[in-house]
Amino acid sequence: MAYIQNEDPRYHNYMSDQNTPQPSYPSIQAAQGQPYYIPQQIPHTTAPNVVQTVPSQSKKVSSSRSKMCCYGGGGCCSIIVVLLVLAVGFGVRYGPSLWNLAKKDQITDTCPTSQVKCDGKKDCSQGSDESVCVRLGKANELQVKTSKTGSFLPVCALGWSKSIGDQTCKQLGFKESFENVFLQTSSTPFQSLNNGQFSNTIQGSVASSQQCPDQKVVSLLCSDCGKPPTSTKIIGGTTAAEGQWPWQVKLPNPYYLKQIILHDYNTKTKENDMALLKLETSVRDITPICLPVSGQTFPTDMLCWTTGFGVTREGGDSSTTLMEVAVKLIDTSMCNKAGVYNGVIYENMQCAGDLAGGKDSCQGDSGGPMVCKADDRRWYLTGVTSWGIGCGRKNRPGVYTNVERFLPWIHSMMQITRP
């Protein structure tokens, strides 16, 4: 899978923010609501299946309320890979018809009134009743919710094996497990395996227990992620070294798309700016970025990194090489102050940059990653470049989709669309 944004609002906000003529771009097949991209020479193919989900709306964060922080930390792994130019080629090829098609092909999940969530049995037509029953917490602690417990509990290590780890990761949409380790815990109760057997789903294979030998629980990684082969220096606005950010690549050859899953994007508030791409074939020689895990935070003012092939200045041309810049996470209450974004930052958004100006993502970077490094030395997809006013302006930091807020949706879609 990969993810993209469905527009580049940084461009539209730049135009509405000042009386400046539109910058000159190469010939582009795009319309309002679509990114402005340089066309790629990609052979024509039949458009992939496009579906759209309709989750519940999030609530606005007031300027006086402390932020919902970006989350990361322990080590949740994802097969989501940043393939920016793949998204570029797709947007150019299909143009606005893509989003019109999405409106007609929403994921329709029919559920009976007698449905029982997290009992290990699929009651709904798309299985949504069983798609939000597993998550990973701090240090990748496997947490499972069942119909009987109604809450997420750690899984006792007694009877656990790599085979069960593989089946659990496959349930979540991955190929197999990468690492199965045990953690010491002082919490109770637990989910314990039923006679050490796995039947269809992990939530259908466990039962609540007050006892767990040696208080050891399962820590599960489903892929090796977030470890670039080179070190990172704290610099900004420069060309990235080759291999420095191996989850974002410029393709020589196209990878064909099997499915596009759109979130319920709000064009007025710019909420829910997220989508997933499912590829026809696996991507080789790419290190996936880690998804954040539940309950882990990155502190305000922490230096994270954003990368992209967008313009390096307002009105400039797109970069032919991958650019990188270090940005600081900015508290949502600060970002919502008058003189900054004046209350339009929602809880599923994250501001980052420099309030003094100078360091920022820009037009053409939408859909690209903002990553933060955790104590385990892995990098986590904290944000996805979404919108902003201009580029690098004072009191106009970049606004990113807060990935942690979308973890239930991401994991649910990975489970529903898994092979």
Q: How sure is the predictor about 313, in pLDDT bands with cuts at 50, 70 and 90? A: low
Determine the pLDDT at residue 364. 63
| Element (DSSP H or E) covering residue 17 | helix 9-17
Give the separation between CA 20 and CA 363, rounded to whole angstroms. Answer: 15
DSSP state of 283: P
Looking at mean pLDDT, say which of 63-67, 156-160, 169-173, 303-307 comes out highest. 156-160
- Mean pLDDT, range 253-273, rounded to an integer: 89
Are 174 and 223 in contact, with CB atoms under 8 Å apart? Answer: yes
Predicted local distance difference test score (pLDDT) of residue 278: 86
Percent of the chain with pLDDT over 70: 69
Residue showing tokens 């899978």: 1
pLDDT in tens, 273-305: 999 988 888 887 788 999 999 877 799 999 999
The predicted model gives 374-392 an average pLDDT of: 89
Q: Best-predicted range by mean pLDDT among 78-82, 207-211, 319-323?
A: 207-211
Q: Taking the model in full, what pTM does it have? A: 0.75
* Domains, the chain, with CATH or none: 9-17+40-106+226-416 (2.40.10.10), 128-221 (3.10.250.10)
What pLDDT is recorded for position 383? 94
Are the beta carbons of 70 and 302 closer than 8 angstroms? no
pLDDT of residue 233: 46
Strand partners, 306: 325, 370
What is the C-alpha to C-alpha distance for residues 203 and 146, in angstroms, rounded to an integer? 6
Residue 58 pLDDT more than 60? Answer: no
Q: State the DSSP H helix or E strand holding residue 142, giving kind and residue range, or none if neither.
A: strand 142-144
Q: Residue 247 phi/psi, 5° resolution?
A: -90, 0
**Residue 323: what pLDDT?**
82
Query: Position 266: which residue type?
Result: N
Q: For all residues of the chain together, what is the average pLDDT?
A: 75
Per residue in 173-229, pLDDT (tens digit) is: 888 999 999 999 988 899 999 987 888 899 999 999 999 999 999 999 999 999 876
Nearest to 205 by CA among 259, 160, 141: 160
Work out the pLDDT band at 308, boundaries 50, 70, 90. Answer: confident
Sheet holding 134-136, edge to edge: 134-136, 142-144, 153-154
Cβ(385)–Cβ(311) below 8 Å: no
Local structure of residue 90 (DSSP, 8 states): H
pLDDT at residue 77, as a whole number: 29
**Percent of the chain scoring above 90 in pLDDT:** 41
pLDDT of 311 above 50: yes
CA distance 168 to 379: 23
Enter the tokens of residue 128: 């949504």
Least reliable range by pLDDT among 62-76, 117-131, 176-190, 221-235: 62-76
Task: Tell me the three state secondary structure of residue 76.
Answer: coil
Residue 254's pLDDT is: 81
The stretches of 346-406 forming alpha helices (DSSP H) are none
Residue 281, pLDDT score? 85
390 pLDDT higher than 90 = no
**Which ranges of 157-240 would DSSP assign to H, the alpha helix?**
162-171
Query: What is the arithmetic mean of pLDDT over 19-35?
Result: 30
Residues 6+ apart with CB under 8 A from 9: 270, 366, 386, 387
In this structure, of 72-76, 142-146, 344-348, 383-387, the range with the lowest mean pLDDT score is 72-76
CA angle at 250 for the pair 406 and 235, rounded to the nearest 5°: 75
According to the model, what pLDDT value does residue 64 have?
29
For the CA atoms of 210, 214, 215, 218, what is the dihedral angle to 10 degrees? -110
Residue 367: band (very low, low, confident or very high) from pLDDT cuts 50, 70, 90: confident
Please tell me the predicted confidence (pLDDT) of residue 241: 76
Task: Read off the pLDDT of each residue in 50-61 and give the average, rounded to a whole number.
Answer: 41
**Residue that wins the pLDDT comparison between 336 and 13:** 336
Is residue 35 scored above 60 in pLDDT?
no
Q: What is the mean pLDDT of residues 238-249?
A: 80
**Paired residues of 402 in beta bridges:** 383
